[in-house]
Amino acid sequence: MQKPIVALLVLATGAAPLAAQKIENLRKLEFMAGCWQAQTGKDQTVQELWSQPNDSLILGFTQYFTKEKPTNFDFNHIRRTDSTVYLILSPHGQPADTFRIKTLADEVASWERGGTKFPGLVMYRKASDGSLIARLEAPPTLDQPSVEVRFEKTKCPGQK
């Protein structure tokens, strides 16, 4: 019964579901670009770096520190294809996890994937104070709390 309601809303508002919209470039993700740092626990820090978006690619990496010593890393990228936008995360050097775009608006984006593995949804949004908030949510089939990290803008490596 929901399909006719969604179709009626699309007709009434003129908006198409994100999956049906053509995403021309990744400029709406400029809010993620730069270097970010978060304190995640006593003596624990996370740093993320995202490149400036171009039409089809954003590169990123994450570093984890304990007492200022690197303990782990992730390689990440966002890729636009003809049909959608993917977030690809390679946590701790493991094989990549791929998420498909769910939401793309001014200063907020989310990606999701099927299955039962955590996270099922990854969201980034810019807060009113300028910080970048990353949120990881479990899929509906998993009883696991969400994780939210508030990153503050920081100087990029090599920046004076």
Residue 7 — pLDDT band, cuts 50, 70, 90?
very low
The average pLDDT across 94-99 equals 95
Task: List, as own/partner pairs, every contact residues 140-147 make where C-beta atoms lie below 8 angstroms and the sequence separation is at least 24, other chains included.
Answer: 141/116, 142/116, 142/118, 144/118, 147/119
Tell me whether residue 150 is in a domain.
yes
The average pLDDT across 13-40 equals 78
Residue 15: the pLDDT is 41
Burial (CB count within 10 angstroms: exposed 0-12, middle 13-18, buried 19+), residue 50: buried
DSSP class of 63:
E
Tell me whether residue 3 is in a domain.
no
For the chain, give the percent of residues with pLDDT over 90.
76
Residue 131, domain extent: 24-154
Tell me whether residue 2 is in a domain.
no
- From the list 73, 99, 74, the residue with the least C-alpha distance to 87 is 99
CATH code (residue 142): 2.40.128.20
Tell me whether residue 12 is in a domain.
no
Tell me whether residue 91 is in a domain.
yes
Residue 25: the pLDDT is 86
Distances from the Cα of 114 to the Cαs of 84, 120, 135, 140, in angstroms? 16, 7, 17, 10
Tell me whether residue 56 is in a domain.
yes
Tell me whether residue 10 is in a domain.
no
Residue 21: the pLDDT is 60
Beta bridge partners of 113: none
Residue 38: the pLDDT is 98
Tell me whether residue 30 is in a domain.
yes
Domain count of the fold of the chain: 1
Residue 9 — pLDDT band, cuts 50, 70, 90?
very low
Tokens of 1: 């019964």
